[in-house]
Amino acid sequence: MENNVRPENMARITTAELANAFIDEQIKLMREQVGDKKVLLALSGGVDSSVVAALLIKAVGKQLTCVHVNHGLLRKGEPEQVVEVFRNQMNANLVYVDAVDRFLDKLAGVSDPETKRKIIGAEFIRVFEEEARKLEGIEFLAQGTIYPDILESDGVKAHHNVGGLPEDLQFELVEPVKLLYKDEVRVVGKALGLPDSMVYRQPFPGPGLGVRCTGAITRDRLEAVRESDAILREEFAAAGLQGQVWQYFTSVPDFRATGIRDGKRAYDWPVIIRAVNSVDATSATVPELDWALLKKITDRILAEVPGVCRVLYELSPKPISTIEWE
Ligand code: XMP
């Protein structure tokens, strides 16, 4: 366990120069650890797994195989970005698994939040296991464990939870960023040349949009979450709020409200905008957003997202509310 403790004198990585020194050192260490063997990585496209992928591509190139599971609950454009950055730009071995139907079929009719989370986690491991079995000669499993994961839990990330692989499929772990804090991982990611939209991503839950499409997920309501979230992110970026507001997203609850569309009565969903500032997600405050910005986002969501007839801005802090809706 000793190598899971950050040395007291370890300098915080705050500059490109420090990041480059860290990168060089990790490349050397990973080459020593892995030799000419093969490494597997579950690449979600989040900052931690993306930085681990970029480090390993530099260190061992095609000895790394990245598996990206699209479970249908990712944000708009994310699976495409993973393919573009890692396969097309970085020339990585990337297995892209379209598991959308599989996840959504399993989740159909399931409304309990914890059951939904369990199904998503278990199905993720199953898909990853199937892909791992197709590959031959893998000896190492890379993970984007970071220092807060070690401090707060048993060192295994909920959303990278491939620790649940069966006994006959156990690999030696490669965890190059396990002593880093999130802000340091971002500095390293920037130095590795990853796009800002990946490096400065807001926290995103493992079950993804699944917890923002409350109750039993339906495909049309899930699309309403994804499209409204994309509009929100686009407008926040245009207003210079990306990286300024800690987390922002939309949720679509599983009830309808009345509206009028094309002179006819409509019975459609509300979209709830949630934006919070926080340090560590244990508490959160709601920023005072510009009214004109909120109006613009509202107008766009109502005009562009099918099945939506209302937009609400949530004012509840944490506690007593949680950040996510379920
Ligand atoms: P809550 O809703 O509990 O969220 O105030 C706190 C932070 O955690 C994220 N979150 C999750 N992350 N798996 C994750 O990996 C989950 O099941 C999950 N639920 C909430 C949430 O986005 C917020 O940043």
If residue 304 lies in a helix (H) or strand (E), which one and from where to where? helix 291-304
Residue 61: the pLDDT is 98
Q: Which atom of ligand 1 is nearest to the CA of 321?
A: 5
Q: Structural domains in the chain?
A: 2-199 (3.40.50.620), 212-313 (3.30.300.10)
Write the pLDDT tens digit of every residue in 281-298: 999 999 999 999 999 999
| Ligand 1 pocket list (CB less than 6 A) | 117, 158-159, 203, 205-207, 211, 247, 281, 318, 322-324
Other CB atoms within 10 A of residue 322 CB: 12
Write the pLDDT tens digit of every residue in 248-272: 999 999 999 999 999 999 999 999 9
Pocket test for ligand 1, best of 245, 323, 325, 326 (most atoms within 8 A of CB): 323
Residue 159: the pLDDT is 46
Global confidence as pTM: 0.94
Q: Which atom of ligand 1 is nearest to the CA of 206?
A: 15
Cα–Cα distance between 226 and 230 in angstroms, integer?
A: 6
- Residue from 158, 127, 131 nearest 145 by CA: 158
- Residue from 247, 236, 243, 246 nearest 211 by CA: 247
Residue 154: the pLDDT is 61
